[in-house]
Chain A
Amino acid sequence: MAVDGVSFSVQKGEIFGFLGPNGAGKTTTMKMIQCVSPRSGGSLRVFDLDPEKHPDAIKRRIGVVPQETNLDPDFTCEGNLLTYARYFDIPADIATQRTNELLAFVQLEEKRDVSIEKLSGGMKRRLILARALVNRPELLVLDEPTIGLDPQARHLIWERLKLLQAQGNTIVLTTHYLDEAARLCDRLVIMDNGRILEGGTPAELVLRHVGNEIVELEKSDDVLACLRDLDMPFEEVGDTVLIATGRAHEIARTLLGRCQPKKMLTRPATLEDVFLKLTGRRLRD
């Protein structure tokens, strides 16, 4: 079983994120929303419709950005959008007009007649985003939208997604980039082993599970012994020690006096701290 008892609801107009390590069940959940994977039980409604009974009515209203790049290599950028528009029964003249708009939207106008294999990874992801918008979807489903992209390309995609949200679109996305989730998502859930562990706004989650701030120290036997003496809760991560707290400066001052750490810094707590706390530090494949 890939997912088990996953329960969530997405409001119109929000960006909703699914976070989780590889194999957590994010993609499976997305495929159920897209009417591709069947469920063995439970209930799912997309626009109040059952994906098993009305797949084409649902698919007509959603746009999908898959994790894997599956553009059609036998066509140019323009050809990809036009062919895809036809799958939605969009008339040719409207398809041409939308293709022009969308190529501009993802800044690929100069690449109109270029074949897919000549595009960079970032251009391909942008074209897939354009392709997902060809039917003017009410709901956009993105599976790892910025996987493998350089910072410039990621920022462009983020900016476009924010713009789409401002235009009233609802967006559901999966990611394992925590900065992406923190930046984009209004609400998110954290999944692992096919279950939802937690949900809320990014800020809520950080506050609930970690606190405001983190004190980071370089790990050594002396530091560990000292922290145990002080009876201070901490967590070891690689060669650093993390202390979650609401009063970072006070604690840092105490530790500086008592433990003499080689290196120490204080920083705000992030979603990454929550994520690692909830899903553990074991390596995933």
Chain B
Amino acid sequence: MFAEKSRPWNKIEICICNRSPRDITHFCEKEYIRVSAFLADESSCLQFKESPTISEPGRIPLMDNPDATPNEKSVTKHESLSIAERKMQLEFQNEAVPHLNALYNYALHITMNPDDAEDLVQETYLKAYRFFNSFERGTNCKAWLFKILKNNYINLFRKNSKEPGKVDYDLIKDFYHTIKDNRNDTTETDTDYFHSLLHEEVYQALHSLPEEFREVIQLCDIEGFTYEEIANMVDSPIGTVRSRLYRGRKLLRTQLEGYAQKRGFITDQDQ
């Protein structure tokens, strides 16, 4: 696979966690080739670091032509893996893996349980890897992964007669506090009531919505999918997606205003 290796690899650490999926993809596009090369030789799990300065002198030549004949000198111990498989692996790493955080977040929202979410995402990636050749390159990989995840969820969890749509506020509150990421807290001096809303309240408000409303808002506002992609993921026509977004947002607004009023803020209507 590699023509030469100039010196031993250092362990590379990147924290995927702090990046949005788009950042990860961009970042990884530059570094992934090297990272993937690293993977070929390390059997232990790889951890990624945020700073993109990977300090090896000189580039490690990676095969530009994956269909080249296997006469090239190879230092990899995995020679039994075919060229095509290796290529697929790299593609998978480039295209599918960066969406890990987004998938995990979505899984959390729909399972409300971090262990279930983790299992769900794992299962999803397993399936995705197995069927990666059926994925149409050039189309939205994130959308494809989300669809797999949704189907997995239905198969794995719905069948256990867990009642969908019921909201346990205490559960949400506890759950939120155990995993909350404090990074995003900024001091807001704006007195507009919208800006005064706590993360927690917004989260609760979102989860108080009926599932089908919550889902489309999530997919549209948080994950940024197009109407067409959403329609495909939820198996409904675009018109339905539109109206759910409309009604969902209206409901949400009412909820949020309720919170703000409770805390003594003037709503927009009084301005």
A binds B: no
Using a CB–CB cutoff of 8 Å, the interface residues on chain A facing chain B are none
Which residues of B approach A to under 8 Å, CB–CB?
none
